[in-house]
Every structure is written in C-alpha cells, then in structure tokens.
Amino acid sequence: MKRQRTDENDDLGLPWHKLADGLPHRLKRSRDFPDTDQKAVRKAATRAANKMQKVVRVVPDKMARNRDDFLWVQFADYEINLGDPCRCGGRQILRFHEYFGRCVACNAQLILVSPDAVESEAEDMYEWDGNKYGW
Amino acid sequence: MTSTTPDRIPDGHGQRTARVADLFGEHGAADVEFVPFVVAGSGPVAVSDYHPLPFRALVEAWRYRKVGWTVFRSVLWAKLTQARLGPTWIVIQSFASMVGFAFIFGGAIFSVRTPGGMPYILYSMVGMMGWQLFQQTMYMSMRGFRAVKVVQDLPLPLLWVPIVGSAAGLVRSLVGMMFYVGFVLYFWITGGTLYLQLSPRLLGISAAGLGLCLMAAWGVGMWLAPLYAWAIDTRYVLRLAMPFWMFVTPVLYPLDQLGPHMRILVQLNPLTAPIEMIKVGLLGTGSVHPLALVVSLTLLTTIFFSGIWFITRYGYRLAALRKGVDSDDDQDDGMML
C-alpha cells in the first residue's frame, strides 16, 4: 500500500504537548498518526520536541507483531552523554533505566546516551541506532 | 511558548541553589532561552541506580497505570494470537485442567467425598479456581521479562513487568470461572439445586480469597521474574515444587478429611486460607481457621512487599544479563511449565 508523503514541517496532527508529559505513549498507525513512514513521525516528534525545548525518544514497539505499525514516544527535558553533568550543572544523576535518568538538582528527566552511540548518530541521524536505542 | 527554565539552579558547587530570576533578571526570565550552565571542575558526575522503597515504587507504578494498561493489552494480544487456533487454546486448557482433575479425584481413580453430597466437579472447580488463579498468574508473571520486551526500551516501573506479563494467566482463570458458572447453571437446571451462595457477604469472602490468591501470585512472581530472567533453573525448581504445593493445599479435598497433625501442617500453608475462603463464599462449605488466616495474611503481605523491594532492587540488573537473548525459543512456548 502506498504511504502518504509528509511535508517537511508537518506535525502530523499529533497533540505533541499532551504527549510531552514525561510518560511513554504508544502510537498506532492510521489511528494516532497518518499512514506514513516511521521516519516522518520521528522527524515530527523531534521538531515538536525542539519547539518545546525538550528531547524525544521514538522507538518501534518490539512486542507488536507488525513493528512498523506501532511506536513508543517519550519526551524528556534534556539529553546528555553518560558521564556528563546535567544542563543545570547538577552532577548527581539517578538512573532509573538504561536510557533514562533524573537530575537530583533540578529534577529534570534526562535521556542518557552512551558516548559510543554519539559517533554513529552523526552518520545517519534518522536510521535506527542499535547502540543508542537498544536493539 | 512553554519555557523549560527551572525556578532554581545549583550555584555551581552542588550544595546551594540560586534563583534563576536573580541571575537572569526578574522580568522575562521565564521567556529567555535557558543557557546551559555547566560548571567545570566540580568533581566527577555520579550516576547511581535508582531503587525506590516499596511504597514509593507503588506510587510510581500508579503514575504509569495508563502505560501499564496499554502494555497489558499488548501482551494479551500477543499471547492470544501466537497460536494458529488463537484464544481457543485458552478455553481448551482451562476446561481440560478443571475437568481432568475432577475426573481423576471424583471417581476414576480416587473417590473424594464432598460435603453435603454435592457434585465433585463443582467442588473441585471452586478449589481449582483459586489455585489456577495463583498458579497461572504466577507462571506468567515469572516470564514477565520475556513477555514485556518493551521494558528494555522504556522506563516502565519494574513492578509492572510481572503484572502485565500475567495477562494471559488472568484471562485463563477468568475462563475457568465462566466454566464454573456454566456447570452451576447445568446442575441447577437438571437437578434443581443451586450450588451457589448468593449472599453479598459470602460472595465478598470469595472475592477476598481470590484477591489473596492474586496477591500471592504477583508477590511470588516479583521474586521469580528477575530470577527466571537470570537463570532458567528457576523454572525447573518450580516444576518440582508446584505439584507438591498443590497437594498440600486443600484444592481438591475438604480440609476436615485430613488427620489432626496433617491439618495443622496444611493450615501453615499461606494459600490454605484463601482457598477455603473461596469455598466458604461460593459453596457454603469449608472453614477458615484463624491460625490459617493469620499465617496467610502475614506471609502473603511479606511476600508481596518483599517482592516489590526485590524486583525494584535487583530486577533490572538480573534481567539485563539476558539482554539480547532471543526469547522466542523453545523454552518459552507459552505453556504453564
């Protein structure tokens, strides 16, 4: 089936502000987002995150039989490399997941990036990165 | 535009905080873009694992309840559609286990006498209702880290892993309860006797018994899920222990048919009181001894809260050891053991 092409600045009509509550949200193709490429959703989420001065993590749903149809989206306040301080200068990070932590000083939710993954991110920022995103 | 500027930020030494408005000016402080304020040379960054206490873990799990429900449905759908016959297997398995035990213990091999001469199949189904809720939910909970793969990508509180992982076990138990209702209706229509208590108080006692069985299943599951993710031996140990545990629980026989010494021993089993509560509530037979109730409530509460502590303290570390292992192997066929 031919999928819709999306505009470069298209937000895909998703309520990004509602989704940016710090909790993960599962999005389904044709119900929550248009029948388009997952990359377009990821780009739209990244643009929305930039507008809100946040960061976002978008991963396909491993549990779904058709991984192409489901996405998990989770916004956070900042993204930092493991070992770096928080943007507020806080040097104590509570890690509650391999890719998520919280700054003790400012309580910001952080996406933690392994330094090894940063180099590969530059090579292809819109391809799924196994080192960074865990598969 | 919503600003993410914090109200206060550290003063650079990590001990005191300063108001952002004091640093950037009162007016417009919330509208200016927050400039990264990283102080160099203040010592290494400490990244420590977060291990909330059980009550705090429960509060955080409640905050993620919508996510938990979404994952629950996803796990259930995956289980229901993994076989060619789909959910038919749940119906077949529930029926076979309930009727099979009734056949063996109700006359084919053993002849267990039931109180008041009620049909043995109804008596055993009520006992099996509680036992299967415990057993199947626990088995599925144990496999939580294999079923809930999304936990590798998302910070779902680990408390949710055995709970949502047990989705298929809960549905199977629910199907078993529907079979029981079907048999009650059958004996009512054909024999004219309704083997069911309709008093709300007694039905409440049954519901409490089922609730305790569920609490036991999730409590044990919270211990076993990380251990199973770490070592498959957990399953082998359980395979040996579960039949023994079932026969020292008054599931298929009335408690008063045991000798006095054996009865005291069985009453120390934390599942005896919940199973007896279900029988008292639904059939009006059985008895809940105060000793059994105290032992059950004490042990089950301890198991449940220590399970929360264990899974939040060690769950991630133990489960991460198996990261990257393909869980769709022949060891995880969706069967109970």
Please answer yes or no on whether B50 and A62 come within 8 Å at the CB atom: no
Quote the CA–CA distance of A132 and A116 in Å, as a whole number. Answer: 8
Q: Which residues of A touch B78 (CB under 8 A)?
A: 63-65
A52: nearest CA partner in chain B: B2
Q: Do residues B227 and B322 lie in contact, with contact meaning Cβ atoms separated by under 8 Å?
A: no
Percent of chain B at pLDDT above 90? Answer: 39
Stretch among A34-38, A105-109, B183-187, B305-309 having the lowest mean pLDDT: A34-38
| Beta-sheet pairing, A109-113 with A100-103 | antiparallel
Q: Is the pLDDT of residue B11 over 80?
A: no
Alpha-helix runs per DSSP H in A1-135: 16-19, 38-51, 115-123, 130-133
Q: Which residues of A touch B155 (CB under 8 A)?
A: 24, 74, 96-97, 99-100
Please answer yes or no on whether B149 and A62 come within 8 Å at the CB atom: yes
B148, exposed or middle or buried, with CB in 10 Å at 0-12, 13-18, 19+?
Answer: buried
B275, exposed or middle or buried, with CB in 10 Å at 0-12, 13-18, 19+?
Answer: buried
Beta bridge mates, A93: A103, B47
Does the beta carbon of A77 lie under 8 angstroms from any beta carbon of chain B?
A: yes
- Render pLDDT for B122-149 as a digit per residue (tens, 0 to 9): 888 999 999 999 999 999 999 988 888 8
**Which one has a higher pLDDT value, A2 or A67?**
A67
**What count of other Cβ atoms lies within 10 Å of the Cβ of residue B72?**
19
Does the beta carbon of B14 lie under 8 angstroms from any beta carbon of chain A?
A: yes
Mutation to test the A interface, candidates B5, B8, B45, most A Cβ within 10 Å: B45
- Average pLDDT taken over every residue of chain B: 81
Backbone phi and psi for residue A61, each to the nearest 5 degrees, phi listed first:
-80, 110
Integer CA distances (angstroms), A73 to A44, B154, B158, B284, in order: 11, 9, 19, 51
Q: Crossing angle for the helix pair B88-105 and B120-142, nearest 10 degrees? A: 130
Please answer yes or no on whether B153 and A93 come within 8 Å at the CB atom: no
Interface A-B: count of C-beta contacts within 8 A: 126
Please answer yes or no on whether B12 and A105 come within 8 Å at the CB atom: no
Quote the CA–CA distance of B199 and B227 in Å, as a whole number. Answer: 42
Nearest to B2 by CA among A32, A48, A74: A48
Nearest to A116 by CA among A97, A133, A102: A133
Nearest to B146 by CA among B240, B51, B239, B235: B235
Q: Given pLDDT bands bounded at 50, 70 and 90, which one contains residue B230?
A: confident
Backbone phi and psi for residue A107, each to the nearest 5 degrees, phi listed first:
65, 20
Backbone phi and psi for residue A33, each to the nearest 5 degrees, phi listed first:
-135, 155
Torsion of CA A84, A85, A87, A92, to 10 degrees: 140
Q: Do residues B6 and A88 lie in contact, with contact meaning Cβ atoms separated by under 8 Å?
A: yes
- Render pLDDT for B285-330 as a digit per residue (tens, 0 to 9): 888 888 889 999 999 999 999 999 999 998 888 876 444 444 444 4
- Render pLDDT for B59-102 as a digit per residue (tens, 0 to 9): 999 999 999 999 999 989 888 888 888 888 888 988 888 888 87
B49: nearest CA partner in chain A: A95
Q: Which two tokens stand for residue B101?
A: 């035990």
Alpha-carbon distance B212 to nearest alpha carbon in chain A (angstroms): 30
Three-class SS state of B286 = coil
Helix (H) or strand (E) holding A25: strand A25-28
Q: Domain limits of chain B?
A: 8-324
- How far, rounded to the nearest angstrom, does the alpha carbon of residue A113 sit from its chain's CA centroid? 12
Model-level pTM greater than 0.80? no
Q: Which residues of B touch A59 (CB under 8 A)?
A: 153-154
Please answer yes or no on whether A91 and B43 come within 8 Å at the CB atom: yes
Quote the CA–CA distance of B26 and B334 in Å, as a whole number. Answer: 61
Q: Which two tokens stand for residue B233?
A: 């031996």
Quote the CA–CA distance of B321 and B183 in Å, as a whole number. Answer: 47
Q: Is the pLDDT of residue B249 over 70?
A: yes
Does the beta carbon of B155 lie under 8 angstroms from any beta carbon of chain A?
A: yes
Quote the CA–CA distance of B125 and B102 in Å, as a whole number. Answer: 8
Please answer yes or no on whether B10 and A90 come within 8 Å at the CB atom: yes
